[in-house]
Amino acid sequence: MSAHFVKTARWECLLKWSNRVNLMIYKAFNNIISHTAVSHHYRSGKSANYVKR
């Protein structure tokens, strides 16, 4: 019983840790995508504005 409890506790800890890591990777990935997309959009918008003027 106690060994089973230790195993499940360790498994839950591992799951929590992996979830946290996945969340960090996901956030970092989203930040990279949004930053590159925004900077690209900003650059193209700026150049278009300069062309209009």
The confidence score (pLDDT) of residue 4 equals 79
Amino acid 51 reads V
> What tokens were used for 16?
């929590």
Helices (H), the chain: 2-52
The confidence score (pLDDT) of residue 24 equals 96
Q: How far apart are CA 11 and CA 1, in angstroms?
A: 15
pLDDT along the chain (53 residues), means of 10: 79 92 94 81 64 58
CA quadruple 44, 47, 51, 53: dihedral sign: positive
